[in-house]
Structure 1
Amino acid sequence: MIKHDDILFVAAEAFKRSGLVLSADKGYLLESRLAPLARAEGYPSIEALITAARRDNTGRLLWAITEALATHETFFFRDNTPFDLFKQDVLPVLARARGNNGAIRIWCAACSSGQEPYSLAMLLEEERARLGNLRVEIVATDMAPRVLEKAKAGVYSQFEVQRGLAVQRLVQHFDQQGEQWRIKSNIRSMVTFQKQNLLESFATLGTFDLILCRNVLIYFDADTKKKVLSRIATQTAQDGYLIMGAAETVVGLSGDFSPVEGRRGLYGRKVAAKSAAA
């Protein structure tokens, strides 16, 4: 069993670094997430890992612990609804607004191992004939270097491609490499991956027409949610959109976005909320 003091220490450090809220009764989560990390780092126990982290002036071990505790659950076309919203509601409105020779910028925040941005890229490739000369840039970020490296490589196991991915898309957009599958270069080239912590300023990322921040804020407290949503709004075009997870909402947390009527999980800035609902 992990000592109570160690649980409190790890929870405080994880919150400071990532906004992740861990209550004192989450010892079981620390056990399951940190045991593999302790082995990988060469420590005989989780307690030894935490002791070393307390003494590590570089902060490397604390960051490794924070990344291990973060939930990186994702899969291709997860929940379907956000991708239907993108294809049927958001993309047509933005395409009309930006014009045939314009550009659309999309940000996938907390992208984990890349399935979400690659799902969008596949949809865009399939819609290419309807987009004309419209340029689309997808920026995908995460705070964890380990999952970003996997995302950049675009290589997935048989289990991973079977989660949410139709056989037709697998054949069309992937090359088989032994027992694994790699996303084709034309899809990989549509996505730029970079490290970004949601607790830090993302002003350098620029302005986006669509931001997907799904199943992330549920792990934050109310104050952190408000701050993140405020910064997201600053990076969203005045006629841009935000897509959140099914269990998330901006209601009571942000006055910068309005729910799009009849479109669960879709929020718009000013004119955007009305345009998508029209």
Structure 2
Amino acid sequence: MVNEHDFAYIRKLVYDNSAIVLETGKEYLVDSRINPLAKAKGFASLSEFVKKLQQTPYGPLHYDVIEAMTTNETSFFRDAHPFEAMKTTVLPEMAEKLALKKRLNIWSAACSSGQEPYSLAMLANEFFNSQPSWKVSITASDISEEMLSYTKKGHYTQLEINRGLPVTMMVKYFENHGSVWKAKDNIRNMLDFRKLNLSAPWPMMPKMDIIFLRNVLIYFDQETKRGILNKVRNQLHPDGYLFLGSAETTFNLDDSFERKLIGRAVCYQLRK
């Protein structure tokens, strides 16, 4: 088990570079993610690895720690309700409101290994398939270069495919290449990949009609959450939709957002 001194160092390193808070009780997470990294780098123990980090100017080793601690698990069509709301309500509404422009901008923030943006791409392709004049652009962003590289490849193992992806969509949107399934170009070409730290200044991006910012705010402190939601407010189109994780809310953080219920999905829109 990681000792108190080493945990404090890693917690500060992660917070300073990503704003993610590792609360007391998360020692097991450091153990499970940094111990294998330390061994892979040739260190006899986690303490020896931390000592090296402390003695070395910020560089590749430190970056590897940030990568290891900011990678989160995901799956296709995770927590199905937001995707059902997209299918039944949000996409039809957007198709009507944006009928003249025929362009839809979606952002999957903190996309991890990419199952969420690919799920959104499949959903949008299903809806707009009979309307080829529409342009749907999905920005897939993450703080981790490793995860962005994984997402760009669009290669998933059978186990990853089995987690949430219906067989009909697997056959329609993925090609089997031995031990992996590769996303077809018709959905890969809908994605625009960006490295982005949510707690740092954001690069120039188009106004978003739909933002998926799910299961990431829970890792930040209150001040950082408010800062991120303030930037979301400026990035979201006035008629747009924001989807957060089931354990997340804008309540007591930013009163610019109004909570809405679509079926069993909770989403947010800017108050008029």
* Cα distance in 2 for residues equivalent to 1:86 and 1:118: 14
| TM alignment of 1:50-199, pairs within 5 A | 50-199=50-199
Structure 2 residue ranges without an equivalent (≥5): none
Aligned length, in residue pairs: 271
CA drift at 1:134:
2.2
Cα distance between partner residues in 1 of 2:14 and 2:58? 15
1:275 alignment partner in structure 2: none
Shift of 1:14: 0.8
Partners of 1:107 and 1:49 in 2: how far apart? 37
TM, length-normalised to structure 2: 0.94
1:185 Cα deviation (Å)?
Answer: 1.2
Percent identical:
38
Letter in 2 for 1:270: R
In structure 2, distance between residues paired with 1:6 and 1:101: 54
1:216 corresponds in structure 2 to 216
CA–CA distance in structure 1, aligned partners of residues 59 and 95 of structure 2: 45
Unaligned segments of structure 1, at least 5 residues: 272-278
Whether the 8 Å contact between 2:226 and 2:253 is mirrored in structure 1 is yes
How big is the shift at 1:61? Answer: 2.1
Shift of the 182–132 alpha-carbon distance from structure 1 to 2, 3 Å rule, reads closer
Once residues 69 and 105 of structure 2 are traced to their aligned partners in structure 1, the CA distance between those partners, rounded to angstroms, is: 30
Q: What is the match of residue 246 of structure 1?
A: 246
Aligned match of 1:274: none
Q: Which moved more, 1:249-258 or 1:122-131?
A: 122-131
Query: Residue 248 of structure 1 contacts residue 265 of structure 1 at CA under 8 Å; is this kept in 2?
Result: no
2:235 is aligned to 235
Residue 268 of structure 1: aligned partner: 269
Supply the AA of the counterpart residue of 2:180: Q
Matched, 1:24 2:24: yes
1:97 aligned partner, one-letter code: K
Between the aligned partners of 1:61 and 1:76, the Cα distance in structure 2 is 31
Deviation (angstroms), 1:205: 2.1
Letter in 1 for 2:190: M
Conserved in 2, the CA contact under 8 Å of 1:101 and 1:135?
no
2-side partners of 1:6 and 1:136: how far apart? 46
Distance in 1 between residues matched to 2:262 and 2:185, nearest whole Å: 36
Deviations 1:210-237 (A, max 9, x none): 1100000111111111111111111111
Amino acid at match of 2:177: Q
Contact map agreement 2:109 2:140 (CA 8 A) in 1: yes
Q: Is the 8 A contact 1:100 1:133 kept in 2?
A: no
Shift of 1:128: 2.2
* Aligned-residue offset at 1:81: 0.7
Work out whether residues 137 and 190 of structure 2, in 8 Å CA contact, stay in contact via their aligned partners in 1.
Answer: yes
Moved more, 107-116 or 41-50: 41-50
Give how far 1:71 is off: 4.2
Q: What SS is found at the alignment partner of 1:260?
A: strand
Is the contact made by 1:8 and 1:24 (CA closer than 8 Å) also made in structure 2?
A: no
1:132 Cα deviation from its structure 2 partner: 5.0
- Cα distance in 2, alignment partners of residues 77 and 137 from structure 1: 18
Q: TM-score, normalised by structure 1?
A: 0.92
Residue of structure 2 in register with 1:257 after alignment: 257
> Which one-letter code corresponds to 1:138 in the other structure?
I
Cα RMSD after superposing both structures: 1.6
Q: Deviations over 1:121-179 (max 9, x none)?
A: 11111122454522111000000011111110000001000000111111111100001
**Distance in 2, Cα, partners of 1:12 & 1:127:** 45
1:207 maps to which residue?
207
Deviation, 1:56, is 2.4
Q: Give the Å deviation of 1:77.
A: 0.5
Q: SS at the partner of 1:28?
A: helix
* Counterpart-to-counterpart distance in 2, 1:87 and 1:108: 16
